[in-house]
Amino acid sequence: MKRMSKRRMGIAGMIATATSVVFAAIATAAPAAAATAAASAAPAALAATGADVMPWLIAGGVALLAGLAAVLVGFVRRRRS
């Protein structure tokens, strides 16, 4: 089994750290939002306001994954040549 270079270990460490930070933020935000929703006494039918952001979130996730794939392909191509 090959050992990873220090540079690759650094990149993998940065990705792991960023991922854990994002998941920690999501985990702490969810209970706070639930507590706020439970505390407010809103009527059953609220007006539909704001925008539908789900398509933008999906497009952003796809773009992020495409960028990550491009970086990984670049690493593999550089290593094989």
**Residue 41, helix vs strand vs coil:** coil
Stretches in the chain below the pLDDT threshold 70: 1-12, 21-43
- Give CA–CA dist 72/76, Å, rounded: 6
pTM (2 d.p.) = 0.40
Q: What is the pLDDT of residue 65?
A: 96
Q: What is the pLDDT of residue 1?
A: 47
Q: What is the pLDDT of residue 35?
A: 56
Domain-wise residue ranges, the chain = 1-39, 53-81
pLDDT exceeding 90 applies to what percent of the chain? 27
Buried/exposed code over 32-42 (b: 16+ C-beta within 10 A; e: otherwise): eeeeeeeeeee
User: Could you read off the pLDDT of 40-56 as tens digits, one per residue?
Assistant: 555 677 777 788 889 99
